[in-house]
Structures are given as C-alpha cells and as structure tokens.
Homo-oligomer: A and B are copies of this chain.
Amino acid sequence: MVDISQVQWSTRRWAEEIETRLMPGGAQDAFVNVRNDDPREFDAIFLGGGAGGRFGAAYLRAMGGRPLLVDRWPFLGGSCPHHACVPHHVFSDVAAQLLLERTFSGQLWFQDFTGKTVSMLAVIEMFRRGRTGPHAFMNFQSKEQLDLEFILGARGRIIDAHTVAVDGRTYRARHLVLATGARAKSLPIAVPDRGGVFDYATLVDDLDYEPGPVAVVVGGGKTAIEYGCFFNATGRRTLIVSRQSPLPMVRDSDTRRYLIERMEEQGMEFWSGAELTSIEGDEHGRVRAVMIDTPTGEIRIPTDFVFLGLGEHPNSEEAREALGVAVDAAGFVKVDRRMQTSVPGVYAVGDLVGAPMEMFKARKGGTYAARNIMGEKALYDLKDYPDFLHTHYEVCWLGLGEEEARDRYRHVVVLKLPPDNPDGQAVALPAGDRVMLYAMMKPQLSGFQKLVIDGASRRILGAFHVGYGAKDGFQYLAPMVRNGLTVDELGEMDELFLNPSYFIQLCRLRAGHRVLRDL
C-alpha cells in the first residue's frame, strides 16, 4: 500500500499512478489516505466510491462527520467515468458529430464521407487514454478539496454491520453504507468464450479488434439505443433486436415517432418482436453469426460484434451473504426513505437499490444517507424527475405525454414545433445552437419539441425535446412544473434566443387566449 495521507499529489501524478494500476501487470498496491492521527471513530464506511458513495461521504464530511470511502478501483467516481456515463457521452457526441458529417458530406468544408466507416476501436482507445484525466481529478478533488479519507485499489470485505476488512486491516465505523452498484446483465444463452459479445463495461475494457460491418444490438432501452446509434454513425449496419418496440420510456408518440424516423433514415434497423436465440462461434471461439427469432421466422445474421443492452443486475451478493440485507425479486437491496436497509445501521444507495439507474438518484441517495447518519431525519422522496437519452440527438422529457394527458384531462392543449406537417413540407424550425446547418439545409433534421398543457388550469403537464442543448433546461424546468408552472408564467420568462427549446416563445404566442389553443 501507498500511504498518501501526508502528501499532496498533482493531478498528473494521480493520472500516472492510476494508469499503472489499470494496466495488466502494473502496480497493484492500494492508495491509503487514512489519518491515523485522528482519534475519532468513523461515522460511516462507504463501500463503493461511485456517485452515491462519494457524494454521501462528501456530504457527511461537510456536516462535520468522518467518512471512509473504500473502492476496489484505484480511483473515485465509480463506473460512471470508467464504463458508463462518460464513455456513453463520448460515443453519443461522436454519433451527433458523425450525423452532421454524413449529412453535409462533400458540402461546404465537410469531407466526403461517402461509404466511409469510422474506426470504433480508435474512438474507444481514445476514451481509454482519456478517462484517467477525470479519474485523477476525482481523486484530487476528493482528497484536497473535499477532505475525504479513502482506500482505493483494494476490495473491501464486509465483516459485520460495523466492520470492513481492506488491504490487510479492519476498519470499524458507526454505520455502513453499501454503494457497490450494479453490472450489466448477461445473456441466458451460451456465448463464445473468446470475444465478440460486449456490454457497456467490457466494450471499453476489452475491445481489441475493429468490428466488421454488422453490429447486432440486443435490447430496446436507453443503453441499447444509445450505443446502437454510435455503431450506426460509424457506418455499420446496425440491428436493434428487442421483444418490445424500442424506447417505451419516451412517453409521447409524436416524439417517439420523430426519433425512430430519424434513426431509420440513418439506416438503423428495428427488429421488434424479435429475440436473439443463439450465437455461433468460429474456430477461435469468436462470434461469427447470430440467430434471431423474428415474427417471420428465424434469421441468421453473420456478424463479429454483438452488444447487450439488457439492463442491470445489482452487486448485492456479498451484502446478502455477510449481512443478510433484504433484497427484492431482482436482487436489489431494499431501503426505506432514510436509505436504511433491513439491517440496523446499514444503509444502501445508488444502482444497488434499483431504478432509476440515474446519477441524481445515486448522488442524492448518498447525501440522504449521510444526513440520517449524522442525526438528521431526512426522507428521500423520488419525485417526478426529468429524464433523457441520446440517439444521434439529445432527447429530454418530463411529465406527461400527450396521450397520457388526454386520458387524465378534458382540455389538453399542445404547442409543438414543427407543427403537424402543414403541407407535406419539412419546416425549417426549430433552429438553434448545433442545428443551424440542418435548419438551413435539411429542415427535417433540426429537431422536434412539444409542450403538453392542461387548458383548464393552464398548467404545463409535460415537455419533450429532441435536438441539442435542452438538458440543462429540463433540470430547472422540472421543479417549476412540479410546482404548477403555467403557460402564462413560462411565456413571461426571458428567452435567450435562438434558444434550443422554443417553449417560452411558443407559450407567449398563445398566452393571450382566454381559452388556450393548440399551436
């Protein structure tokens, strides 16, 4: 182990030390940042230094408590910067950029992209090199700015509800916070053992060849679509194989239709009502083809690249065995609104406690656990939250879709852009940051947006946006909508034109009506 409690490493030093430990055969000794001169007992050991653990520890420390973070990886931040959110955003940014390059291939200053395939391996290798930068900063910030104690690069083993063994020592605390996350679900069928089948984690860790011209994606949810759009954008034939129709979480059919149409335009194939039944390996144990059971029969697709977007499985095994914490049918640890498990003094946060597998829930769960541990009664209510995913676009939504709203309200008003195709023409609006070239030259690619309103109360019920640059806005719009934001109040705000969402100005165009009308 390396005792770093008395030294201050630069982010560069951190990056070098982390890189060594991520390399096969590199140093494997743990980073130990524990102040042995501090006589206080730990208020909590956070087992897992991802989003929930790190934010929980930071909050507890800010409240004056003493946390200890333990993570098997040599960096804090967990799967997000290593396997999950960060690479996903790199790939989605690449997809957005390649959509632009393909659309304007050979026009203006754009290179000719005809028939061009982009190297997936090069993008992934770039990410592998780049990710140690955020890792290093996370360690630096946690130690120097957030004043956290931690042991990294060593697996913590649960001894009891107060004790964790790590790197040859045991540490005791008043409380234990389980934050061990989740991992990608695997296929229930035999998989060739020498490669070709990936999930979000193994893709960035293990890919060591340039995939061929066909990518088969299994699943129809966020991860499947997000990675599928990346594969498609690189120039590969991409099949999305799923039992149900894709993107059920986008709760508005106009919005979903816009998304699917744009993906199909880019050549993505949605094989719905279909199932991957077997994977065929070659003589080297690598994937050679898949069999897909479709409504019209079984089809064999030659491919060397299969991606699984099947959801998450909780890393709850050790906590169940060592502590007997109660879990649900899928194995996720059950917690109450204080983030307490069934075992007194033991809390759980993050992906380990189940859906939604979102950053805000992990981080906030950590802070609620910290507040309860420090003696505050803090109840975490998962309110109606805004949501997003990426296709080649950024897609955001909150509240009710049009169909749900019509089921519940008598007078539903919809403001949308472009409007229902007025005359068979694509309309060059919305225009805004990052879609200006589309607006000028390929109007149908410039996005879609929609507000769903209760005409009686004039309150916003739902909002949907396909384009770029609306994610930040949806964060702030969500609590206002929850608090009863009306079309009149929204229309009274000050837009930063050309704003990516046109919500403010669309409301203002209609707010003069005593009886609201669609637009």
Q: Which residues of A contact B (CB under 8 A)?
A: 10-12, 55, 58-63, 80, 85-86, 89-90, 92-94, 96-98, 100-101, 108-109, 111, 116, 118-119, 122-123, 126-127, 129-131, 133-134, 136-137, 140-141, 144-146, 358-361, 363-364, 367, 370-371, 383, 385-388, 394, 396, 419, 422-425, 427-429, 431-437, 439-441, 443, 468-480, 491-501, 504-505, 508-514, 519
- Give the chain B neighbours of A387 by CB distance below 8 A: 496
Nearest first, the 10 closest Cβ-Cβ pairs linking A and B are A62-B512, A130-B440, A472-B473, A133-B428, A10-B423, A359-B497, A476-B476, A93-B436, A360-B494, A469-B469
- Give chain B nearest CB distance to A131 CB in angstroms: 7
Report the bound CA distance from A427 to B130 in whole Å: 11
Residues of B within 8 A of A59 (CB): 508-509, 511-512
Interface centre among A85, A130, A519, by most chain B C-beta atoms within 10 angstroms, is A130
A505 CB to nearest chain B CB (Å): 6
Residue of B nearest to A435 (CB): B93
Determine how close the nearest CB of chain B comes to the CB of A34; give it in whole angstroms.
21
Residues of the B chain whose Cβ atoms lie less than 8 Å from the Cβ of A423: 10-12
A15 — nearest CB in chain B belongs to which residue? B425
Q: List 16 A-B contacts (CB under 8 A).
A: A59-B511, A63-B514, A86-B498, A89-B431, A108-B118, A109-B118, A130-B440, A133-B427, A133-B443, A141-B419, A363-B508, A367-B511, A385-B494, A387-B496, A434-B468, A479-B493
Given contact pairs A422-B144, A472-B499, A126 touches B440 in the complex (Cβ within 8 A): yes
Residues of B with C-beta under 8 A to A60: 512
Is A360 a contact of B497 with CB atoms below 8 Å? yes
B493–A422 touching, CB < 8 Å: no
- Does the CB pair B478–A439 fall under 8 Å? no
Provide the main secondary structure of the chain A interface. Answer: helix
List, in ascending order, chain B residues with CB within 8 A of A512's CB.
58-63, 367, 370-371
List the number of copies, as a whole number: 2
CB distance from A91 to the nearest CB of B (A): 9
Name the residue on B nearest A385 (C-beta): B494
Question: What residues of B have a CB within 8 angstroms of the CB of A123 in the complex?
Answer: 108
CB neighbours (8 Å) of A145 from chain B are 419, 519
B508 touches A494 (CB 8 A): no
Q: What CA separation (Å) do A280 and B454 show in the bound complex? A: 63
Centre residue among A119, A144, A394, A494 by max chain B CB count within 10 A: A494
Chain B CB within 10 Å, residue with most, of A93, A363, A423, A435: A93
A439 to B89, CA, bound (A): 11
Q: Which residues of chain B come closer than 8 Å to A429, judged between CB atoms?
A: 134, 137
Bound-state Cα–Cα, A335 to B391, Å = 48
13 more contacts with CB within 8 A, not counting A59-B512, A62-B509, A386-B496, are: A55-B508, A55-B509, A63-B514, A109-B122, A130-B440, A144-B422, A145-B419, A371-B512, A394-B433, A434-B434, A472-B499, A474-B496, A478-B494
Nearest CB of B to A190, in Å: 36
Q: How far is the CB of A234 from chain B (nearest CB, A)?
A: 8
